[in-house]
Structure 1
Amino acid sequence: MMNSVYGFEEEILKRFPHTGSIIYKDALDMMKFMPLTAIIGTKILCMHGGISPHINSIKDLKNCRPVEGNSEVCLEMDLMWSDPSEEHWGFEPNKDRGGNALTFGSDVLDEFLEILGVDMIIRGHQVVQDGYAFNAGRKCVTVFLAAYYLGQFDNAAGVCLCCGVELFNSDSKFWAGCGWPAFSESVGKDLNIIRIQDNSHGMLRTEVSAIHILATFSMMVRKKRPAKDTV
């Protein structure tokens, strides 16, 4: 439901007019097997939303599953919908998200990072003007990938590239299977760099598949927005 309302289904149907409905259904099936968190090089924790008071160790993350619908407050909901706050300490109900998720201050983020033994978190979830934004003394980074979000924002799209970190090897992952614990393991050899560029939708999108990439934050190159029709 969420990705249908916010444009994913519409984009799939436009790009693949004959097979879009099948691709969309397959994408939904795939999402059931995607982890809610990922760890880069044992030191960077990634999720969509933010941290949770229900996490006491890395083991708590391994068995998380995507939740459907308007679930009650729980670990999975926090990982998906929590936001960092520069105004509050600790955990507070996230009123901007209907109260079913939390905001978290830099104090509890520091405790969280120490308990899990990681240095920082990378998350998405919030529109930011330049495509990326820092919180909590650069220990929390928001990276937002959708430029001109919903056609209502004049935001850039951000990409986070991490250097010298072994992520995974496709062959090793195939033989290891796709069980939930396997997603958090770092295995295999370096991948070749593959670049795919897409000039549609008013911007230049470059997708890079690689294992050693530069540790910087950058904006995607955008073309000028077409002028609106005038009478």
Structure 2
Amino acid sequence: DVHGQFYDLLRVLEVVGAPPHRRYLFLGDYVDRGPQSTEVIVLLLALRVRHPDCVALLRGNHESALLNKNYGFYKELGRRGYSASLAKRFADCFNCMPLAAVVGGRIFCCHGGLSPDLHSLDQIDRLPRPADVPRQGLSCDLLWADPEYVIGWQPNVSRGCSYVFGPEVVEDFLRTHGLDLVCRAHQVVADGYEFFARRGLVTLFSAPNYSRRWCCNAGVVMCVDADLTCSFVAFKAKYTKN
């Protein structure tokens, strides 16, 4: 998650390296809540256009017109004097974004989490695009689901949609599909990354000093080597919020 923290995104590119010298897979939630969502999404889309082989952008649950109306992105566009047609163009763009990716054939990446409706990875390729985010089903779960220490699948009460899933769900998913790791975002974690299910799943969060509740959380980028060894680069906020 970047959530409109433009200077922290610049810090990532400065510390880790910018395309085309580094290849990036972003996991969604580029806009809303932060003060410079416009700069964040414009820069990321420009990098995608300029370096299509080095930059990929997955969709997050906040790449949605409904959430953009309620969590700040559309208000930001309005304050800056942009017309409603620009908001519509962003919505059209978000509706075309992919929902998942597999790195090196072994690391499954998405914004939210797993789904009880996901039986084959080919199902994701067949999901219709462009499309709004539905309130249930595979697309919804890939954007909204969360890992939790429960047995199996339980309703995701805190989100109001989708599921929470337990460690054995992750282990079964990895074993069934011949994968090593699930890499997802969607939740703030104090150190910027947090493992789950005996290191079968990792949550990443790249917006440091994100909110009043998490005023000192780190942001993290996960680096994946050619042999799929993973390491983490952590950083603090570029500017401290008052």
* Residue in structure 1 matching 2:121, options 50, 58, 61: 58
Q: Contact 2:133 / 2:139 at 8 angstroms: preserved in 1?
A: no
Does residue 140 of structure 2 align to residue 77 of structure 1?
A: yes
Does residue 218 of structure 2 align to residue 156 of structure 1?
A: yes
SS in 1 for 2:68: helix
Structure 2 Cα separation of the partners of residues 12 and 117 of structure 1: 43
Shift of 1:97: 1.2
Shift of 1:89: 1.4
Query: For the pair shown, which has the larger CA radius of gyration, 1 or 2?
Result: 1
Structure 2 Cα separation of the partners of residues 35 and 10 of structure 1: 25
Structure 2 Cα separation of the partners of residues 26 and 150 of structure 1: 29
Alignment partner, residue 68 of structure 1: 132
* Residue in structure 1 matching 2:96, options 29, 33, 36: 33
Alignment of 1:1-231 (within 5 A): 1-9=66-74, 17=80, 24-65=87-128, 68=132, 71=135, 73-86=136-149, 88-98=150-160, 100-150=161-211, 152-154=213-215, 155-164=217-226, 215-223=230-238, 225=240
Q: Contact 2:209 / 2:237 at 8 angstroms: preserved in 1?
A: no
Shift of 1:217: 1.5
Q: Contact 1:40 / 1:165 at 8 angstroms: preserved in 2?
A: no
Change (3 A) 1:49 1:69: closer
Shift of 1:47: 0.8
Change (3 A) 1:26 1:152: farther
Q: Contact 2:222 / 2:232 at 8 angstroms: preserved in 1?
A: yes
Structure 2 Cα separation of the partners of residues 217 and 12 of structure 1: 34
Shift of 1:145: 2.1
Residues 49-75 of structure 1 deviation map (CA, whole Å, 9 limit, x = unaligned): 11011111111111224763662x311
Alignment partner, residue 28 of structure 2: none
The residue type equivalent to 2:124 in the other structure is L
The percent of aligned pairs where both chains have the same amino acid is 34
The residue type equivalent to 2:154 in the other structure is E
The number of residues matched between the two structures is 175
SS in 2 for 1:77: helix
SS in 2 for 1:97: coil
The residue type equivalent to 1:40 in the other structure is V
Alignment partner, residue 193 of structure 1: none
TM-score by length of 1: 0.65
SS in 1 for 2:158: helix
Q: Contact 1:36 / 1:65 at 8 angstroms: preserved in 2?
A: no
Alignment partner, residue 210 of structure 1: none
TM-score by length of 2: 0.63
Q: Contact 2:95 / 2:132 at 8 angstroms: preserved in 1?
A: no
Q: Contact 1:35 / 1:64 at 8 angstroms: preserved in 2?
A: no
Q: Contact 1:157 / 1:219 at 8 angstroms: preserved in 2?
A: yes
Structure 2 Cα separation of the partners of residues 107 and 13 of structure 1: 46
